């Protein structure tokens, strides 16, 4: 829902934290949940991201990206608008937004499709939210979808670690995020 973006953004931002550049995080240099690659891509499209105005977007610009106001347009265009979340039910939009930020929009869409399939839909899990996915979303109780999405997110993280043990250091943080989402999503449904 269109009116949910400001609230969803305000809730997600604390999950993301401030500047980090940990080897265990394959996203590389990140600040307020925005990776260097995302900032570079955004700057290429919208000419916004060269915060030190030195002609390039690099780690120095990620460090300077330090206010919610600076991050808002990136989150809005690259995640909320890119996934067309204005047209989703309240609560589903919030989880899709968070999943898109944390794991990429394609993975968020696949999690939604798997969640709908848990509720009896027979969708191809292809990461494309088309008319069939939207129709199924409108037929299934939102609270059931939300519950299934949280379960799918837990499964998603555990599969990452099962397939690549180098991510084990991230698992508890990911599961803590799901626990926080479980509480926060209640304010939307």
Quick check: 23 pLDDT over 90? no
At 155-167, the pLDDT tens digits run 999 999 999 999 9
Quick check: 154 pLDDT over 90? yes
**Residue 135: pLDDT band with limits 50, 70, 90:** very high
Least Cα distance to 80 among 132, 5, 11 occurs for 5
Average pLDDT over residues 28-48: 96
pTM for this entry:
0.94
Residues in the chain: 189
Average pLDDT over residues 8-37: 92
CA distance 181 to 95: 8
Question: The domain 90-187: what is its CATH number?
Answer: 1.20.141.10
Quick check: 95 pLDDT over 80? yes
At 107-122, the pLDDT tens digits run 999 999 999 999 999 9
The vertex-150 CA angle with 146 and 152, nearest 5°, equals 115
Q: Write down the pLDDT at residue 25.
A: 75
Q: Write down the pLDDT at residue 91.
A: 98
CA distance 75 to 67: 13
Q: Write down the pLDDT at residue 22.
A: 85
Q: Which residues contact 20 (CB under 8 A, 6 or more apart)?
A: 29, 30, 31
Quick check: 179 pLDDT over 80? yes
Q: What is the mean pLDDT of the chain?
A: 96
- Domain extents for the chain? 90-187
Q: Write down the pLDDT at residue 125.
A: 97
The helix or strand, by DSSP H or E, that contains position 46, with its residue range, turns out to be: helix 36-46
């Amino acid at each position: 829902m269109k009116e949910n973006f400001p609230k969803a953004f305000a809730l997600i931002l604390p999950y993301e934290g401030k500047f980090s550049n940990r080897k265990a995080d394959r996203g590389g240099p990140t600040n307020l949940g925005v990776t260097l690659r995302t900032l570079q891509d955004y700057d290429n499209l919208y000419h916004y991201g060269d915060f030190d105005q030195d002609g390039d977007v690099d780690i120095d610009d990620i460090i300077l990206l330090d206010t919610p106001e600076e991050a808002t347009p990136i989150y809005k265009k690259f995640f909320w608008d890119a996934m067309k979340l204005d047209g989703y039910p309240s609560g589903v939009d919030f989880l899709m937004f968070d999943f898109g930020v944390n794991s990429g929009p394609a993975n968020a869409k696949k999690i939604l499709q798997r969640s709908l399939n848990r509720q009896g839909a027979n969708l191809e899990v292809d990461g494309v939210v088309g008319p069939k996915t939207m129709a199924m979303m409108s037929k299934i109780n939102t609270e059931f979808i939300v519950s299934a999405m949280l379960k799918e997110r837990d499964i998603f993280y555990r599969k990452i670690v099962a397939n690549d043990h180098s991510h084990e250091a991230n698992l508890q943080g990911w599961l803590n995020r799901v626990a926080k989402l479980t509480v926060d999503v209640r304010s939307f449904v």
